[in-house]
């Protein structure tokens, strides 16, 4: 199965050499959904917002699922590699530094970013996972060989982790296991347990913005 082209919006920053913020939407969203959140994080970065290639009852997603909360893990891996290949191709075209890429995703988009963290731990400079679920039940015991990106994470990569305390789609015990997995892999987790369900709230965005400004503001 060949990788498919990805639909995206790219908005360059005014200053050259800026960091790039990668946005991945939730189920049924598109490349426009998270642009308002980007605006609340700051303006000192390029924005690359991508639409998922998978359709579920006409709703865009980033990978297939077999049921609610049950992922097609073969497709998760394929779509993870597809996204990384896309990023490697578009970075030189748009002239942004792939080593200075921060990803933010909601729900299904957060789950694909989580898969990138697990399979390509050196790729991202940081990641914000809004309403995440662990995307892979079987993950490599060690970084995979024969790929420059697949090394131990560089100086703990900061990860913002925001589950919903009343989220009916996620088992709280599974959330704890996922948070522990990321911490054990060497990522520096900042956790915000939102007093909410699966939907995002203004406080989620405010907390994500504070995390971004703490770790990345003017540090490109």
Q: Catalytic residue positions?
A: 107, 167, 198
- DSSP letter for 153, please: P
Which segments of 51-205 are extended strands (E)?
A: 54-56, 59-61, 65-67, 70-71, 101-106, 126-130, 158-162, 188-191
Question: Rounded CA gap, 186 and 103, in Å?
Answer: 17
Neighbours of 6 (CB within 10 A): 20
Return the SS3 of 148.
coil
Question: Rounded CA gap, 62 and 94, in Å?
Answer: 22
H/E run at residue 90: helix 73-94
């Amino acid at each position: 199965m060949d990788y498919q082209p990805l639909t995206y919006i790219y908005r360059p920053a005014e200053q050259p050499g800026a960091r790039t913020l990668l946005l991945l939407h939730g189920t049924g969203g598109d490349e426009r959904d998270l642009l308002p959140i980007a605006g609340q994080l700051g303006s000192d970065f390029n924005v690359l917002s991508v639409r998922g290639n998978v359709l579920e009852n006409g709703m865009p997603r980033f990978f297939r699922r077999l049921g609610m909360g049950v992922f097609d893990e073969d497709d998760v891996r394929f779509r993870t590699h597809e996204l990384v290949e896309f990023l490697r191709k578009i970075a030189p075209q748009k002239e942004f530094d792939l080593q200075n890429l921060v990803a933010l995703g909601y729900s299904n988009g957060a789950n694909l970013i989580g898969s990138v963290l697990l399979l390509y731990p050196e790729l991202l400079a940081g990641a914000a996972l809004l309403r995440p679920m662990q995307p892979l039940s079987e993950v490599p015991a060690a970084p995979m060989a024969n790929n420059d990106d697949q090394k131990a994470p560089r100086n703990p990569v900061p990860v913002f982790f925001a589950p919903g305390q009343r989220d009916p789609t996620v088992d709280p015990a599974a959330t704890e296991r996922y948070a522990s997995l990321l911490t054990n892999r060497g990522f520096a987790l900042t956790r915000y347990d939102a007093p909410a369900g699966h939907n995002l709230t203004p406080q989620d965005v405010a907390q994500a913005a504070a995390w971004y400004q703490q770790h990345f503001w003017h540090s490109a």
